[in-house]
Amino acid sequence: MLSFYQSSIMSSATGDSGKQYHKEATGLALQTVQQHHKPEDITLFGSCFCPFVQRVWVAFEHLGIPYKVSDFML
């Protein structure tokens, strides 16, 4: 039996895995993005479907750290 990591490597090597991802923020995430457009010392760059960006985003929100979201995340 293949691990998730092995099967995802094989899927990417053989073509599309068939998974669908949002390519822009929606729902409550979109509302949060829209609230963070004024200039700040920190600008969050990335895409809304990236798990690493999501971790940083949640940390900023939880800790109350002011940040600006790049237009790329919309």
Tell me if 23 sits within 8 A of 47, measured CB to CB.
yes
Residue 6 has a pLDDT of 46
- Average pLDDT for runs of 10 along the chain of length 74: 49 65 78 88 86 92 94 60
Given this model, what pLDDT does residue 26 score? 81
Give the list of residues 6+ apart from residue 8 with CB closer than 8 angstroms, or none.
17
d(CA 12, CA 69): 30
Q: Rounded to whole angstroms, how far apart are CA atoms 52 and 9?
A: 19
Please give the Cα distance from 47 to 66 (Å, whole number).
Answer: 19
pTM (2 d.p.): 0.62
Residue 15: predicted pLDDT:
65
The per-residue pLDDT for 13 is: 56
